[in-house]
Every structure is written in structure tokens, then in C-alpha cells.
Amino acid sequence: MSYFVYRTHYEGPLSKRVRRLPDATVLDWFRRAWAAVADDGRWDATAWIQTELGGDVYGLHTLFERAREHGLPAPNSWQELRDLLREHLYFEGDLRVDEHSVRVHTDDDEVELPYFFFDDTLVAARPDAVAYLLHDDWPLPDAPGAPSPDGEGMTHAVLLTFYDSDSICWQPPFVFPGVRLPDLAAHLRATTPGPKEWPGELLVLRALVAPEDDDLGPALGRCNHWPSYEASTPEITGGHHAAHEFAMRALRNGEPDNGRDPSRTLLRSGAHLAQMSIHMHGFFGHQQWFLFDDVWVGQNEDLAGSLLRYATDWDPFDLGSR
């Protein structure tokens, strides 16, 4: 079996599309597309891609249209496929091809849109890269009742957020050392970060943790209604009491911007994983917030590793092949 994943902010609460393909290898899928080109002179590349891959894939149709226009022979090896893609595929970023994958980084002049073809061999070899990539439904599993390991622990904050067109790897994962998720609300109340020490979303979250909150669920719910994540609000960077009072006034007096619809947000706060797919834009859709501790990592090692890689680089495989 082979797989296709499209990292696109236009689609779904996880901002990606996942398809499982019947072809044994990536090369087999492209050869099947070539056969479709040859069999039907009226063949529509865009329509075929939409049927095969569940929707449009920006720029991919150009390869097959040029194959039909110029009578290009089907590739017989991954090296030949690589050469054809380099010459005839429209993309605006990077192209990486090896025996088991095709990875493309492009954009549509609005946001970056990486997409990936890969096979079972790569899935077996790199579970730390594919576990989140192939996870296509909400929510991620929690780790209820999992025993806490020795030590103080740590919590990771993965914020798959973006502004303007810089939509991949905008914010590297953030770590709260020495605190696990059940204690994070109290830790946020007791901490006063500088305005440039934390991502803006975490500053908002901290300000919206109420004195009585025992976990992050209520504060994440308030974050869903925050008026604007693009506006500068230095008032939320001071002591927690003043920051919380300011933030609550802002909630009462403002409305979410950019066509956001809080009713479309998905939120779940568990013992060791808090997650929110927040509807952030009327056009681009959702962005994802994940906060999880070392207890959750211990129960979901591949998923955690894959998510951290996904948040760090457009290409979670990063095998160095070109």
C-alpha cells in the first residue's frame, strides 16, 4: 500500500488530507496515472486527481498535462520519476524524491502546501515520522490513568499556528520543564514571562486561566473566543491578576476576527493531553493546539515524535534525498 498526505489549511480540523492508495509503491501510482493519460484522449488531469486523492492538489495536474501534451513515456524507476518531476511538475518550493517517497513543498500565493507520497516500507522504517502524518481523525488519543514516571516531568506545547503566508514551522514546539499537564494551570498563574519569551497564544492562554481553574479546559474555551491573535496586547504580559482582568474585559468587549466561528472549534482537555482545533479564519479554517506531557509521550511515543517533527519542518521525513 502507498499513501498520500496533503498538508492544507483549507481542509478539516487537522488541516490535512490523508488518502490510502492501492498501489504497492509511489512509482506504481504515477505509472497508473500515466496509463490513464494514454487510455483516454479526453482525460481530465484535475478531475482524475480529485477522484484519486480526494480533492485538488495544487500544481500536480501540470505533470500529467505535460505528459499528454509532449507524449512523455511513463517512468520505469524512481530515478526516472524524479527527473520527470523536476522538469515537468509545477511547484514553488522544494522537491525531494527517493525510492520510497515523493515530497513536495509549494504554495498557492496564499499559504504553503506541502504534500507527500510514500509507501509501506517507509511507514515501517519511520513510525516517528508518519504516526501523526497519517492520523486523519479528531481527536488524538489521551493517556488516561497512565502512571507518572519518576522526576518532575515536562509539558510540550505544539501550536500549529500561522499568520500571513508563513504557514509552516512558524512556531517551534515550546517546552515547560519541570511541570506536567495537571499542574500547568497553576504554573501559568504563578509565572510572569517577558513579552518575547512565550508565543502569543501561550500568553493569551496564561491570561485566560482563571484563579479557580484546576485544568486548562476552561481557559482553552475562553481562548476560542479571544478577539484577535494578530493584535498586540502587551497588557497580558504582566502579573497574572492584572493580565487576567484585562483579558476578561477584552473577551466581554470584543468579537473574534477574520470570520472565525467559535462554534466550529473542537476542544478536548484530558489528564495528560489538552488539544484544540480552533477555527481561526473564515477562509483558511482551523489551526491546532496540542499541550501534552511526558506521561502522554510515554504512552504515545511514535505519535508524539511525529507531531514534534511535523511542527518543526515542512518535511517530517527529512531523509536528505534529492
- pLDDT value for 165: 61
Q: Where are the beta strands (DSSP E) in the chain?
A: 2-7, 16-21, 94-98, 101-105, 115-119, 154-160, 174-177, 266-269, 273-281, 285-293
Distance separating alpha carbons of residues 241 and 16, to the nearest angstrom: 38
Dist CA 94 CA 49 (whole Å) = 21
Q: Are 70 and 87 in contact (CB under 8 A)?
A: no
Instruction: Single out the residue of 33, 25, 27, 34 nearest to residue 1, CA to CA.
Output: 25
Q: Which three cell numbers stand for residue 212?
A: 479557580
Closest C-alpha to 2, from 105, 108, 137, 101? 101
* CA geometry: angle 43, 49, 51, nearest 5 deg: 95
Q: Helix H segments across 169-216?
A: 184-190, 200-208
DSSP-derived 3-state class of residue 77: coil
What pLDDT, on a 0 to 100 scale, did the predictor assign at position 177?
Answer: 97
**Is residue 26 within 8 Å of residue 299, measured between CB atoms?**
no
CB 52 within 8 A of CB 115: no
Q: Are 278 and 223 in contact (CB under 8 A)?
A: yes
277 forms bridges with which residues in the sheet?
266, 288
Handedness of CA 164, 96, 310, 259 (dihedral sign): positive
What is the chain's pLDDT, residue by residue, as a tens digit (322 residues)? 999 999 998 999 999 999 999 999 999 999 999 998 877 667 788 999 999 999 999 999 999 999 999 999 999 999 999 999 999 999 999 999 999 999 999 999 888 999 999 999 999 999 999 999 999 999 999 988 777 788 889 999 999 998 766 678 667 899 999 999 999 999 999 999 987 899 999 999 999 999 999 999 999 999 999 999 988 899 999 999 999 999 999 999 999 998 999 999 999 999 999 999 999 988 889 999 999 999 999 999 999 999 999 999 999 998 443 3
Pure H helices in 40-102: 45-53, 61-70, 78-88
How many whole angstroms separate alpha carbon 317 and alpha carbon 18?
Answer: 16
pLDDT value, residue 319: 47
